[in-house]
Structure 1
Amino acid sequence: MSTATVTPTAEVVTGTPVSSQPVTLTPNAIAKVKEIMASQNPVPAGLRIGVVGGGCSGFQYSMSFENQAGMMDKVLKFDDLKVFVDATSAAYLINCTVDYVETLEAAGFKFENSAVKSTCGCGSSFSV
């Protein structure tokens, strides 16, 4: 399994310059998202990655498909995959890498975020 990351090109819908990349996706994550998107009808325009309040540690990651970017979204391009990140979530996702891993026990998307100070016991939420 490859752990190399793909450096995306960032296009900012709001016209505000990107000071640092909000999030990166590994080739495994990009391939899995594209595979899932291709099975949707209609095919969504892109993937939304965000941070929402919740869980025992305060924040949780969220992923969903979207048909268009919001007015304040940063639109990142990984090959031909568009990833939408809202301005608030972008602050929590700087230097975060999303990977897709498959093991004998489980398969899923894994977030590696250097800004996280602690996680809850079950690993579903975090604090910064």
Structure 2
Amino acid sequence: MNITPSADQKIEEILGDSERLRISVNGGGCSGFTVDLAREQEKRPVKGDVWINPNVLIDSISAEYLSKATLDWTDDAFSPTFKFDIPNTKSCGCGNSFTLGE
């Protein structure tokens, strides 16, 4: 998984000194899968966690879904947000979930 410089900068801005960002793929949404971001206090990583960089980790199963994904930060005036570009997937109409493409 890749993280753009703008996303990396935003992650550093929002995390406290003893926090990190956990990324996970979960079942849900209208297309089948959602990507969730959660701030968590530093603790020992779970066996199988994959570190994307010193501030970001992902569980091994989610890492398989997101191996070619890119996380970006869009600083849109109306809706600033993190945005994932995940190749070979199809997004639902609202853009909040995805399904695996063909």
TM-score when scaled to structure 2? 0.87
Q: Is 1:121 equivalent to 2:99 in the alignment?
A: no
Aligned pair partner of 1:106 in 60, 79, 93? 79
Extract unaligned runs of 5+ from structure 1: 1-22
Contact 1:96 1:113 survives alignment (8 Å) = yes
Answer with 28-37 or 68-77: which moved more: 68-77
Report the CA distance between 1:50 and its aligned residue.
Answer: 1.3
Extract unaligned runs of 5+ from structure 2: none
Contact 1:92 1:115 survives alignment (8 Å) = no
Give, in whole Å, the separation in 2 of the partners of 1:73 and 1:115: 24
> Which structure features the higher share of strand residues?
2
Larger Rg: 1
1:31 is aligned to 9
Q: Is 1:49 equivalent to 2:23 in the alignment?
A: yes
Report the CA distance between 1:57 and its aligned residue.
Answer: 0.3
Equivalent AA in structure 1 for residue 85 of structure 2: E
Aligned pair partner of 1:65 in 39, 44, 47? 39
Report the CA distance between 1:105 and its aligned residue.
Answer: 2.4
Report the CA distance between 1:99 and its aligned residue.
Answer: 0.5
Contact 2:48 2:59 survives alignment (8 Å) = yes
Q: Secondary structure at the match of 1:50?
A: strand
Equivalent AA in structure 1 for residue 51 of structure 2: V
Give, in whole Å, the separation in 1 of the partners of 2:88 and 2:58: 17
The count of residues paired between Structure 1 and Structure 2 equals 98
Equivalent AA in structure 2 for residue 87 of structure 1: S
Compute the RMSD of aligned alpha carbons.
1.4
Report the CA distance between 1:76 and its aligned residue.
Answer: 2.3
Contact 2:23 2:56 survives alignment (8 Å) = yes
